[in-house]
Structure 1
């Protein structure tokens, strides 16, 4: 994925978790149409993660395109509500301020471990006044307005968080991939293989490369007329092309556009084109997943979803074709994601069987991978095809549930004002 833009190079060693972190830390994970608040009680090298709790909040659509104060005030208010539910099982040392890792999964120019300016929005967000602003400063001001006494100890994106969390539990994790509302990847690279690096070499000799692979583009990508139209009508035309081919934000929309073409050109749903089928993003990826996984003899779930969401009364033959459309588009996306993972393994020379490197782990976080079973299985089977039987035995792709949140909390602990790590 050499054409992907490298937005962030992060030293691996000084700021990475080492297992000694202890205490109560929070994470705020803003990566798409929902955000998560997480608290973790860390017990050091022996006990690791003692206890964790999380809550997920949907962001009202109008806040994604409104003003920055409105968005961050909403986030700060929900975070304050979550902090207020902190139970006795979580212990904050006396005199300590609550600290958290802020997972902000949009392209930023990171100027320090706890500050970064927004380069651009993705995944349906579009708040122009935030461009070029420090996202940590904006959140801090919102917390002050809401009377919430907390400090952002680390700013990371969800991919870096997942990599940190995965490496914390398993030393063989060398890369992390997000497959959710959007998509991104990061991997651990030898600093000697990074010609752009100009600073002091880290003691570990390694760096984390945040690929921002969602922005990858190549003439070899299998773009259809639906992909071109989706991109042209998006909030960021010409950008995030790879992400738009398979991430959770867009998968359902590609299916809708394909069904709309079938309705217009082949009267697939009858003489009249269903009006609701013309509404952009009316068909969400979780709905596509539910229809795709329908194993009932009459495809009852497919029929119910078509009627509830699109106002379509369907025959069994129509439902079968709808499932086939879901199958074609989803499998294309899963195979593309697998190709991206294979590219990382090839870059690191981990794509061949080797006695020196008997185990390589890829940590994956995101609802698309976690809940869309067919997508998950096709991704893994495709990766096996690309690697070959001998090499694939040593490559492990595993779910890092809440990986980005736990990783952010760990990085907050590592960079805490209180424990001096």
Structure 2
């Protein structure tokens, strides 16, 4: 059965309406999930460890008697790394090295300057004290996400990194534990779901309260992160995975088809879009999809994703292609062009740009170096990839000299009186000499 991918063209009179419909995605909060999560969070906040143990035993089918049964030792993490097959360990270490090298260039540094009257102004950069990292567990095991979240935190100087990872039926993913060991995770608890988010956000008798929670999770985890935001920081509330490929017809249609598959296989709500200036190439990619899809273990997920949320968009020229790409503001943008470099600067909104035929999005997911935690659902218009800067804080420094207090005091006094705040004005005026 052929995959019925939506076809759009910029020459269509209703193109704009069709684009709006294509991009419409309402991550509507499920009322049942909201109620469940609210109850779990309130219970964890009140009862701490006892609630965490109870929910973990119920949802993950465990029999933990205490929190000690739910914390992994550093010895166990090291054993997981040591037990990896040589090729897998080498790949994990190579990926970790590349991610670390890239993120070391992102460190923010403090600065200051001194004015003529001796007043010093500046900015101090400090790392967060403690960060919580949520890692999906069970069948959904993502060691790459451990590296992408933990390494920037450690590069930033985070003092303590607490990882939570559910282990349904006691199933521990050794590759995840090995990645945690490599990335320098300090403590690991085998917790998941809203109870894990609550433990990190509020702290329990055993799990220390963190300053920020990062990492992907299911709808319960995402809802819990939204609810605790403000008590702690969060990285983002991510939507389904996205890829947008911009093509001039110069590439290999099999490569393009597989790149579309690479996001469609995540889940049925993932979105894969191909924009092309060449109608004939769109047909070649369609043929490649039909040829390659039967070879994919996750072919039903891919088929559903491409049918429900995928699209081929025919454009008249590259200027139209770029304009649409900026409108979409995709998580992953591939410039599958014969000469991509001139077009990079014209892209204003994308989580990550993959430049040229040899730059598959999958390389960015695992080992290129830049972070794979990226803004989705058009939020690349105003947000950025996860990075070292997400684990650092900026503090303003102000040291006013005696001479500076005379100048600034008069300015502040005038403005404070204008705002009707006399105590502000007097505070500045008390330091004036005349």
Q: Same fold (TM over 0.5)?
A: no
Larger % of strand: which? 1
User: TM-score normalised to the size of structure 2?
Assistant: 0.24
User: TM-score normalised to the size of structure 1?
Assistant: 0.25
Larger % of helix: which? 2
